[in-house]
Structure 1
Amino acid sequence: MLFEDTYRTIQNASEGVFRDKGSKFIAYAYPLTDESEVKDIVFQLKKEHPKARHHCYAWRLTTDRNVFRINDDGEPSGTAGRPILNTLLSKDVTNILVVVVRYFGGILLGVPGLINAYKMATEDALAHADIIEKTVNDIYLLSFDYLQMNDVMRVIKEEELSPSNQSFDLQCAMEIAIRKSELNKVLGKIEKIEGVQTKYLKTI
């Protein structure tokens, strides 16, 4: 196989905490499907923790190790977002956002202390999470005439696909998620049905 067909992520949001010299680091881990979700989550945490000194984060999307973003939010460069990200990479989880909220305890921890604190808080949040394996799926939009409905539904049933965003009228449309490794087989069957149009939307 030329690509990774599965990835590890977390089922639900989870929390972890680490304390050092009076400073408290609270890590919040969230499943993530799109970068656009990050802003709202960070905004919400800032509202919940207005007295916290820093809200640092890192996220990863897809199985590509190069798709990530880190934010030190005022901590010395490389001491917050990077250790959070490195923990996600070492635990091999993706489609995930971890935000660590820091309450300053009055004593400076120094660079090694900060790196350790952000790492430990992240590890604790992941230890409390349900880590699950998911398949890499391509989402396709199918458009077809109502008369083709039975043929389309037969393939969907045979291949155990889950359609979403369905609209049935004279002209029908639905989105289906196809596992990457099954792509050629499933699309081959669908494209044999006369009058069905397929359009690639995105990979999740």
Structure 2
Amino acid sequence: MTEPYLTIAKNTSYEQVIKKSRFICTIARIASEEDAQATIASIQAANKKANHNCYAYMLGDNDQIQRESDNGEPSGTAGVPMLESLKLAKIHDVVAVVTRYFGGIKLGAGGLIRAYSNTTTEAIHQAGLIQRVKQATLKITVSYSLHDPLLYYLKENQLEIAGEEYGVNVVTSIYVNEDELTMVKKSLTDRFNDQLQITEGPHRFNEIPYTK
């Protein structure tokens, strides 16, 4: 079974102070590298006096694109730990930027790694997670005599109604997860003895809250 497609529920910022240095993680959903770079540029512009604006982002269902930057911090102490935090959360299509205002106390390599990693992780927790599920629309055409039994069946099987159209017959549209399409079509056909017509309509992503 493939793992669920997870991403953050909302864009957010999280701030903490570690040994007088301010660490502010801004995390946002993205659809392209252009989105990522625009987010990074916006945060850099808004924090020109910051000592560092380090970032990490991942794109694609299989995280085909991964980028990170230490932005002046010692090599491997910022961007990589941030990227690892994103991987650990198993989220996709997100960019994280951690802005640091130096407070005068050096943290050392280990301290920096922990600071950038923890700040990113806390931002992810604050943003929350959602699961994106690919769904298809099924249009079910039935006679008026079968309409109520159909509605009962849909409620019983927790299938969401997208809308209804009334004419010579009733056309009830429902949302079905793509990986359940074959099963739902067969179940409907068997239950109603092939007395309904099913056509497949547009596909969409449905977003539902996710908790581990």
Q: Shared fold by TM > 0.5?
A: yes
What's the CA shift for 1:13?
0.6
The change in CA–CA distance for 1:153 and 1:128 in structure 2 (over 3 A counts) is same
Structure 1 residues not aligned, in runs of 5+: 139-151, 163-177, 186-192, 194-204
TM-superposition CA deviations, 1:110-137 (whole Å, max 9, x none): 10010011011112211211211112x5
Task: Give the structure 2 partner of residue 168 of structure 1.
Answer: none
Task: Give the structure 2 partner of residue 75 of structure 1.
Answer: 73
The change in CA–CA distance for 1:33 and 1:183 in structure 2 (over 3 A counts) is farther
Larger radius of gyration: 2
Amino acid in the other structure paired with 1:127: H
Amino acid in the other structure paired with 2:87: L
- Paired residue secondary structure (2:7): strand
Q: Which of 107, 113, 116 is matched with 1:115 structurally?
A: 113
Amino acid in the other structure paired with 2:21: S
Structure 2 residues not aligned, in runs of 5+: 142-158, 163-175, 184-198, 200-212
Q: Are residues 1:94 and 2:83 paired?
A: no
Contact 1:17–1:25 (CA under 8 A) maintained in structure 2: yes
Amino acid in the other structure paired with 1:46: Q
Amino acid in the other structure paired with 1:18: Q
What's the CA shift for 1:37?
0.4
The change in CA–CA distance for 1:179 and 1:61 in structure 2 (over 3 A counts) is farther
TM-superposition CA deviations, 1:12-39 (whole Å, max 9, x none): 1111122222111100010112111011
Task: Give the structure 1 partner of residue 61 of structure 2.
Answer: 63
Amino acid in the other structure paired with 2:67: R
**Distance in 2 between residues matched to 1:68 and 1:184, nearest whole Å:** 35
Contact 1:57–1:71 (CA under 8 A) maintained in structure 2: yes
Which 4+ stretches in 1 moved above 4 angstroms?
A: 152-155, 182-185
Contact 1:80–1:118 (CA under 8 A) maintained in structure 2: yes
- Paired residue secondary structure (2:54): strand
Task: Give the structure 2 partner of residue 130 of structure 1.
Answer: 128
The change in CA–CA distance for 1:41 and 1:183 in structure 2 (over 3 A counts) is farther
Contact 1:16–1:123 (CA under 8 A) maintained in structure 2: no
Q: Which of 15, 18, 22 is matched with 1:17 structurally?
A: 15
| Alignment size in residue pairs | 170
What's the CA shift for 1:184?
8.8
What's the CA shift for 1:62?
2.7
The change in CA–CA distance for 1:75 and 1:181 in structure 2 (over 3 A counts) is same
TM-superposition CA deviations, 1:54-94 (whole Å, max 9, x none): 11111112332453111111111111111111111112211
Amino acid in the other structure paired with 2:119: A
Identity %: 34
Task: Give the structure 2 partner of residue 48 of structure 1.
Answer: 46
- Paired residue secondary structure (1:33): coil
Q: How do residues 176-191 of structure 1 correspond to structure 2 at under 5 angstroms?
A: 181=179
Normalising by structure 2, we get a TM-score of: 0.63
